[in-house]
Amino acid sequence: MSLGGCVSAKCDALVLLISEQFKPGKDEVSQFIDMAIKAGDLELKAGKSLQLYRHSLFEATKVILVGAGSANARQVRQAVLSAVGIVRAGTAKKMVISHALLDGAAANSLGALVKAVVAAAAEASYVYTSTKSKADPRKLRAVTLGVPDVSAVQADFAHAKALVAGVELAKEWANRPANHATPTMLAEAAQAIAKRSGFSCDVLGPKQVAALRMGAFMAVARGSAEPLRFIVLKYLGGATADEPVVLVGKGITFDTGGISLKPGAEMDEMKFDMCGAASVLGVFASLAQTKPKINVIGLIAACENMPDGTALKPGDVVTSMSGQTIEVLNTDAEGRLILCDALTFAERFKPKAVVDVATLTGACVVALGGVRSGLFASDDKLAAALEAAGESAQDPCWRLPLDEDYAEGLKSNFADVANVGGRAGGAVTAAKFLQRFASKFPWAHLDIAGTAWKSGAAKGATGRPVGLLLDYLVSQSSMQTPTPKQPRASKPVGARANLAPSA
């Protein structure tokens, strides 16, 4: 979209991204922007903005001039988050975001910028409504993105829309209160995704799980009135002979800590302890649209961790599906107990790689905060691929060690292994525990305890690491991209994303 096209765009809100390399032309708009910059009213640092209302130079009702810094994907994302956050407070339904003034974009990947814009626009406008009696849904209904070459970015745009669908589905299920996201409901959500997408989905209940001898998983679930569910999703986009990638999601739909009861403060946030499971569901929702040529298995162990009279007790010894016995020193270290049986189950698929995703340890939050997810891996090639995917998706992770010395704290006098190893290096000892059950395939563990949700005024799920996982899976395959629809000649815009309320 040219600058002239921006000026004549009829919309509720027009966002002009302006980089630090901006050089004014002779047109009125460029001269106006240059004047605002020189006067100090517009800074070009990423996210800084100047708002205009019914300005005579523009057809749009509201115009937001927003700095995009050096115009890399991260700073463009920051700029769009800021601009859409401003628009979200109003009544705008149609928005145009233009690259017309984004000098310096040629030095970056235009496709990466498109993905950053679409993802940021969706993130900033997202609204949760499911359990509100008087829902105030997302007002912004459509975003048109103006780019210099539509055909060059169609695949990236399609990928971005698919990612948004997955991220928002993950947010939806993670944000729901535990009584609206039980293991049974989570299984029904997986079946619904599979049905509309042509996937396979098997749901195992308590009897089937008992027949598999998943003793660790069953032990965690037995304190709850809600029956456990073990969910098996299959996306088969590759050749029959291709080894699948297996994604394993922790699905503790509410975590009281069990008998090792958590403090009451902020315990409501333990509805987010199934964010790993939600991210696996989100990835499958995205796969339905991206259709990469790869085989993917999704495994979700879903249950509650509750403290009734039948609940697991500190000091109990349970037998996992692998046959290894586990001394449970702390019932609040339950995620690794359900994951270890899921990892053993994954062996039957003879996987190319297994990646488990879990809100596993507070220690990882202390180590990495909410910026990067913790990454542990037994295979350097797998670790490198996940790290690269995290960077490309702006969903970064950081690799942490798996030295064998860390396993010393997991020794037990009464079982093969203890489920906790003390406070020091807690994220690592949790990973070392899981590694015992992942020796038969390349394995990685993503600890998303710090990145899966936000607390405070912005409380809510982030949808991470759907972006990282989707980019990783796509990188492992060649894409099957549907033939894109051509834009109408009467509207020289790049591409359009409809932002409907979350489903």
Average pLDDT, consecutive stretches of 10 residues, N- to C-terminus, the chain (503 residues): 76 94 89 95 96 93 95 94 92 89 65 94 94 88 87 92 98 98 98 96 98 98 98 96 97 98 96 98 97 97 97 98 98 98 98 98 97 98 98 97 96 98 95 98 98 96 98 80 35 46 37
Kindly report the number of other CB atoms within 10 A of residue 485's CB atom.
9
Cα separation, 193 vs 280, whole angstroms: 11
Span 105-138, pLDDT tens digits = 554 588 999 999 999 999 999 999 999 998 788 8
Q: How far apart are CA 145 and CA 162, in angstroms?
A: 16
DSSP code per residue over 400-466: ----GGGGGGG--SSSSEES---STTHHHHHHHHHHTT-TTS-EEEEE-TTTSEE-GGG-EE--TTH
Domains of the chain: 3-148 (3.40.220.10), 167-475 (3.40.630.10)
Res 100: pLDDT: 75
User: Phi, psi (5° rounding) for residue 303?
Assistant: -165, 175
- Catalytic member of 139, 141, 262, 313: 262
392 CB-near residues (< 8 Å, 6+ apart)? 112, 471
Beta strand spans in 217-364 (E)? 229-236, 245-255, 295-305, 317-319, 325-327, 353-358
- Could you tell me the CA-to-CA distances from 356 to 413, 437, 449, 483 in Å, in that order? 28, 12, 13, 33
Q: Return the HEC string of 83-111.
A: HHHHHHCCCCCEEEEECCCCCCHHHCCHH
- Tokens matching residue 246: 């297996």
Helix (H) or strand (E) holding 38: helix 28-38
Tell me: the pLDDT tens digits for 427-478?
Answer: 999 999 999 999 999 999 999 999 999 999 999 999 999 999 999 999 998 5
Token pair of 356, please? 């488990």
- Asked whether 468 and 399 are in contact (CB, 8 A), the reply is no
CA distances from 357 to 277, 291, 369, 385, 473 (A): 8, 22, 17, 16, 14
CB distance 7 to 100 below 8 Å: no
Residues in Cβ contact with 381 at an 8 Å cutoff, skipping those fewer than 6 apart: 442
Phi, psi of 367 (to 5 degrees): -75, -45
Distances (CA, A) of 245 to 311, 346, 350: 34, 10, 9
The one catalytic residue in 336, 372, 436, 464 is: 336
User: Is 74 labeled as catalytic in the residue annotation?
Assistant: no
